[in-house]
Each structure stands twice: as structure tokens, then as C-alpha cells.
Structure 1
Amino acid sequence: RAMSAAPRRAPDPPALRARARSTRHRDARCRAAVVRRTGEDEPTQTPGVVRRAFAVDLGGPTPAAVALAFPDATDAVCFELTRPLGVVFEQRLSGATTEIFVDEVVENGAAAKAGVERGDVLRLCTAVFEVSAPVDVTTWLNPPAKRKVKAYYECDAKPFDKVMDALASHGVQIDTPNGKEDVKFVGLVLQRARA
């Protein structure tokens, strides 16, 4: 785990810090197609909370549909960043649960150029997972090979290490019908307090 070198201030307990891991990709271009907002805010039964829908492009014919609950007084901001991200994440208590937020944005990094701000809360990210086809009677003796595929990972109330692993998983090539392929962009959904 890549931990930040020397803390500038003591983090609020219990806090964890980690610099987003870097890889061989050094391109700092940013686009906004991996994750995008769809639809309007939908009310929920909880006062002050709205449901916001997103489409996550995982490489298939149809983007995955995801809906997350957001405080009404916040904005949902989607980013598509190259790696290294140029972000230091930290975990803090938020009521009865934890949240992972942007503690530091590296100057001239991909996140800074895209507009990520200190204090943004990480709600969802893309990731690479290993999956296998279902095993049935006909494949019991010769199970199908495992494949690495693009997926999304909801970060709410998840352990810090698991979220950092999901972000770092973009360094693994995914399996496609055309062979192995690098994952060029990391998709993020951040919750931002309104000014």
C-alpha cells in the first residue's frame, strides 16, 4: 500500500491515508464518458436525500445503470481520469459510517486538470475484477477460464483498503474478444458540497 510520506497534520481519528497508486500511464488527458449522470434527481422517502442515476461504460453494448442516494444539498460530479490520478484519499467517520474523501489534489496531475477538489467524497469508481462463467454439470471437469473484466465499485461504507485495491486494479489488463487490453481511464463519481 502506498501511504503518504509525512503527514502535514494529524488526521482525524480513525483516519487512513493513501496516495492513489501510479502506473505506467502518464497521459493527463481527461474525458467524461466512462461514468455519466442520467436523468433528474428522484425524491426518496428520506427527507433531504435524492436518488441520482448514472451510466457506467464497462465496454459492453449497454452501459450499466447505477443509482446512488445523495444529500440534496450536494452535487454529483463524474470524472474520467488517466493514471496516475494525482489524488490523495483519506477515510473519516461520517455519522455512523465512514467515507473516503479527497484530502489532497496533486498540482498539475490528472485530477487537478479535470477539476477534482479537496473535500470531494468518493462514491463510486470503476475497477477490474476476475470472474468466471457459471460451472454446471457439463463444465464440471473442465471449468471455464477466469476472465478479467471492467466493473464498477460502490465505495459507500467500504473498507479503505478495498477501495484503494479497486482503484489500483486498473493496472491489470482486461480480457476482450480481441485479446488483452489496457484500461486507459478510471471513472469516478464524487459527491461535492455546494458552495
Structure 2
Amino acid sequence: MTATSSMLAATANRRTAMRRQRCCSVAAAGVIQRTGVDEPVPGGVSRTFAVDIGGASPAKVSLKYPKDTTAVCIESARPLGLVFAQRVRGVTTEIYVDEIVDGSNAAAAGARVGDVLRLTTAVFLVSAPVDVTTWLNPPAKRNVKAYYECDGKSFDNVMNAIASHSVEIDTPSGKQVVETVGMVFERQGAEEGAAKEVKSVQV
């Protein structure tokens, strides 16, 4: 191999590595972590995440991403200091970070303006299953850690899911404050296509 061909091969390898990093790199996080590798699907790639909601093992969630985008997981203390907005892009809507308060918790966690919210942790009120041995004395409802996929959901429902972290969860040792919010974002490069803002709110 000549010196020129070696340089061309090295350049191609660097470009491939940069594309792979842009598509697949993830900011480290505790409550939500990226697992596995990109799986090709029609129109993009499928990426899998492990969400720690307090069970024996993390919940596994797969989300479809456009190619040449990055999946970013963050865990931020509350309050976040983010202004979320909703916009129409083509025939779909997306909820994204419109502003970040300087010095805020979310800024320190790595959120960026333009990040599209794909998933957030939440607190849900649930009931334990009722069987023939408990139907006369059904178990009480309890607040538990959960996650909420944001694709196709209304802006108000997504904001309510984020706001639900103010509710204490029920644990075997009593009530517990949820101190952080876990989120999965889609991070893009230059904006593409016309977008119309619908509404926004700070959390």
C-alpha cells in the first residue's frame, strides 16, 4: 500500500468513526442508559435503553431514530430549568428544548437547546393486581417510578409526566422524594424543514 493510499484509508476510517459517534454516542446517565447497538429499521435505526424504575431489573425501551442523529440520556436534579416547546414538522409534532436557564440543573446535566424529548421518567399511581384471596380487601393504590414515551403524546400530557416527579413515591420503608428526572433526547445537527411552534412551558 502506498503512502497516498494509506492516508486515504486513514481519512475514510476517521470519517466512518465520526459518523458512528454522531449516530450512536450517548451521554452517561444513571437512571437511563443506552444498551446494545443500532439496529437498522425502515427509515432509521432502533435504539434500546434501560430505565431504572426500581424493579429487580431495568425496563427495556426501544425507540426509532432517524439516521445521523444522536441519542442522549441525561439525569437532572429538579427543578430542571428547561423551557419546552412543541412544534409541527411536516405531518408530525415534536416536543423540544426551546430555552435553557443559565446555570440550571439541566444545563449542568448536558441538555442542549434543540434537543427533542423522546422519553421521560415519571411517577404513576397504580393498583396492585387483585385476585380471589384479596378481592374483599384490595391493596391500596401507590405511587411508583415509571417512564413515559413522548412520541405522539400531547404536550400537556408530557408536561404532566415531568411535573409528576413532585409526587413522593411509595416504598417498603415509606414515602420517598424523587430528586431527579431522567430523559432521553434526540439530538440533531442543522434544522431541516419548516417548523411551527405550537406552545411552550418552563419546568
**TM-score of Structure 1 vs Structure 2, range by shorter chain:** 0.7 to 0.9
What amino acid maps onto 1:156 in structure 2?
Answer: D
Unaligned runs of 5+ in 1: 1-30
What amino acid maps onto 2:46 in structure 1?
Answer: R
**How far, CA to CA, are the matches of 2:115 and 2:58 in structure 1?**
25
State the partner residue of 2:98.
103
For 1:163, what is the secondary structure of its paired residue?
Answer: helix
Shift of residue 86 of structure 1?
0.7
State the partner residue of 2:109.
114
Q: Does structure 2 retain, via aligned residues, the 8 Å contact 1:55–1:66? A: yes
Is 1:62 aligned to 2:57, yes or no?
A: yes
**How far, CA to CA, are the matches of 2:164 and 2:67 in structure 1?**
32
Give the TM-score taking structure 2 as reference length.
0.77
RMSD of Structure 2 on Structure 1 (CA) = 1.3
Unaligned runs of 5+ in 2: 1-27, 191-203
Deviations 1:157-188 (A, max 9, x none): 10011000000000111111111111111000
Is 1:38 aligned to 2:38, yes or no?
A: no
Deviations 1:106-153 (A, max 9, x none): 000011112211110000000000000122333333211001100000
**How far, CA to CA, are the matches of 1:145 and 1:96 in structure 2?**
42
**How far, CA to CA, are the matches of 2:133 and 2:83 in structure 1?**
48
**How far, CA to CA, are the matches of 2:187 and 2:94 in structure 1?**
13
State the partner residue of 1:176.
171
**How far, CA to CA, are the matches of 1:176 and 1:95 in structure 2?**
44
Q: Does structure 2 retain, via aligned residues, the 8 Å contact 1:75–1:194? A: no
State the partner residue of 1:4.
none
State the partner residue of 1:145.
140
For 1:117, what is the secondary structure of its paired residue?
Answer: coil
Shift of residue 98 of structure 1?
1.2
Matching residue within 178, 186, 190 for 2:185? 190
For 1:138, what is the secondary structure of its paired residue?
Answer: coil
What amino acid maps onto 2:182 in structure 1?
Answer: G
Is 1:136 aligned to 2:135, yes or no?
A: no
**How far, CA to CA, are the matches of 1:157 and 1:94 in structure 2?**
13
What amino acid maps onto 2:37 in structure 1?
Answer: E
- Point out the more displaced range, 55-64 or 122-131: 55-64
What is the identity percentage for the equivalent residue pairs of Structure 1 and Structure 2? 64
For 1:137, what is the secondary structure of its paired residue?
Answer: coil
State the partner residue of 2:73.
78
Shift of residue 95 of structure 1?
2.4
Shift of residue 38 of structure 1?
0.5
Q: Which has the higher helix share?
A: 2
Deviations 1:12-36 (A, max 9, x none): xxxxxxxxxxxxxxxxxxx720001
Shift of residue 69 of structure 1?
0.2
